[in-house]
Amino acid sequence: MDNKPLEEEAESFIKQHLLKYDFNVVKPIYDTNGGDLLILDDTKKQYPKTLKVQSKGRSLSGNNSIKIPSEYVVDNFVVFLYTKDSEYNTYLFVYYEEEIKKWNLNSKKEYTLSLTPKNVKSEKFQKKIFNKNQAEVLRKRLFKAEVKKYTSVIIDAIFLEQAIIKILAIYREIYPNRGIVRPNIMEVIKNIIVFYNKYNTKARIINCNIYSYMDKELVSEINLNNNIFLDNNQECRVFPHDTEEFVCFEVIDYMERIVNTENIILVADDRAYEPILDKLEDKNIDVILVKFSENRDSNMFTGYRWGDIIYPIAQAMGLDRYEW
């Protein structure tokens, strides 16, 4: 059975009711950990308090159910359930983290809630109908939500490869007898984070997504079993991506997906990124850039603060700081 039309109807219905009660609602470009919609306390804030809404639409013409992956169910996660019976009567229910965790947990680690024409009319369901009282409950949860600042490193592998080649040539010329070799890419990534991650976050995990064009050498060097462990008890998980598209398009697409929920360190140096950076700067959204310095023929000019790519690469080559 194709649930897509009903799911679209559900999302529209949910958004309409949230707007009715004066919530700020946005639609992320992509589903982010179950977030079909986002409720923000203030759309003008750089880091607004956020609730992630997963919308579900189900027919009550027979027995049915909804399933929620357990990893989605965190403190700022909300499920809205829209149902429609054979007489076209509709209900809208709302469920929060602690309530979802009381549902049945199946072998696939999914919380499940069974639906029948009869049980949705029970007191257990009826008290979860989204109305003015439930809207106030939702509003209180939004105000109590933590501002969760996660950090992602996004790397344009074409730029990083060019930077490594250029800097390797520079230092081989400066130190011809040192036997300087190509640096380990994981060490370069670690140094980028250590040198330039100025975001003070509580999240233990940093995600690093590195985008390359069609099996280039740099991405092939990455061993997914070798995540990077930092001295501050943070872990960087590195994810390589091959693309047949222009790398900058993939990077920009990913930036737009996460910009409302994560801090961004962008490792790139191409004028193709200037429009998206100018757009984010106009919205007072912070980004840290890692690129060539102006005196090394940087191709990208923005008002953002930046760090020179030469230092993390030089250190990964085994050079001491006084040798940079």
Position 146 confidence tier, pLDDT thresholds 50, 70, 90: low
Instruction: Please say if the pLDDT value at position 260 is more than 70.
Output: no
Position 288 confidence tier, pLDDT thresholds 50, 70, 90: very high
Write down the pLDDT at residue 45: 67
Read off the CATH number of the domain in which 211 is found: 3.40.50
Query: Which of these, 284, 275, 260, lies nearest to 152 by C-alpha position?
Result: 260
Write down the pLDDT at residue 150: 77
Amino acid at 110: E
Q: Are residues 177 and 316 in the same domain?
A: yes
Q: Are residues 154 and 91 in the same domain?
A: no
Instruction: Please say if the pLDDT value at position 237 is more than 90.
Output: no
Q: Are 281 and 266 in contact (CB under 8 A)?
A: no
Write down the pLDDT at residue 13: 96
Domain boundary among 94, 127, 144: 144
Q: Are residues 127 and 24 in the same domain?
A: yes
**Structure-model confidence comparison of residues 259 and 46, the more confident one:** 259
Write down the pLDDT at residue 90: 92
- Tell me the pLDDT tens digit for each residue of 4-15: 789 899 999 999
Write down the pLDDT at residue 220: 57
Amino acid at 301: F
Q: Are residues 122 and 161 in the same domain?
A: no
Q: Are residues 282 and 158 in the same domain?
A: yes
Domain boundary among 100, 120, 144: 144
Average pLDDT over every residue of 34-61: 83
Q: Whole domain around residue 316: which residue ranges?
A: 150-323
Q: Are residues 301 and 163 in the same domain?
A: yes
Write down the pLDDT at residue 284: 67
Write down the pLDDT at residue 75: 81
Average pLDDT over every residue of 15-37: 81
Position 50 confidence tier, pLDDT thresholds 50, 70, 90: confident
- Tell me the pLDDT tens digit for each residue of 83-141: 998 889 899 999 999 999 999 999 998 999 999 888 888 999 999 999 999 999 999 99
Write down the pLDDT at residue 169: 94
Q: Are residues 158 and 306 in the same domain?
A: yes
Domain boundary among 104, 120, 144: 144
Distant-in-sequence, close-in-space partners of 254: CB < 8 Å, separation ≥ 6: 154, 209, 211
User: Considering the entire predicted model, what is its pTM?
Assistant: 0.58
Read off the CATH number of the domain in which 110 is found: 3.40.1350.10
Q: Are residues 135 and 241 in the same domain?
A: no
Task: Calculate helix-pair angle for 247-258, 274-282, nearest 10 degrees.
Answer: 20
3-state secondary structure 238-249: EEEEEECCCHHH
Averaged confidence pLDDT in the chain: 86
Position 195 confidence tier, pLDDT thresholds 50, 70, 90: very high
Average pLDDT over every residue of 262-288: 89
Strand order across the 110-115 sheet: 64-69, 110-115, 104-105
**Structure-model confidence comparison of residues 303 and 99, the more confident one:** 99
Q: Are 235 and 228 in contact (CB under 8 A)?
A: yes
Position 226 confidence tier, pLDDT thresholds 50, 70, 90: low
Q: Are residues 116 and 158 in the same domain?
A: no
Write down the pLDDT at residue 3: 66
| DSSP result, 200-240 | ----SEEEEEEEEESS-HHHHT--TT--EE-TTS-EEEEEE
Q: Which residue has the tokens 């950090």?
A: 151
Q: Are residues 155 and 266 in the same domain?
A: yes
Number of domains in the chain: 2
CA pair distance 141, 73, nearest whole angstrom: 15
Q: What percent of the chain has pLDDT over 70?
A: 89
Tokens of residue 14, six digits: 């949910």
DSSP-based three-state secondary structure for 126: helix
Instruction: Please say if the pLDDT value at position 277 is more than 90.
Output: yes
Average pLDDT over every residue of 288-317: 90
Write down the pLDDT at residue 258: 81
Q: Are residues 49 and 197 in the same domain?
A: no
Write down the pLDDT at residue 139: 94
Q: Are residues 123 and 167 in the same domain?
A: no
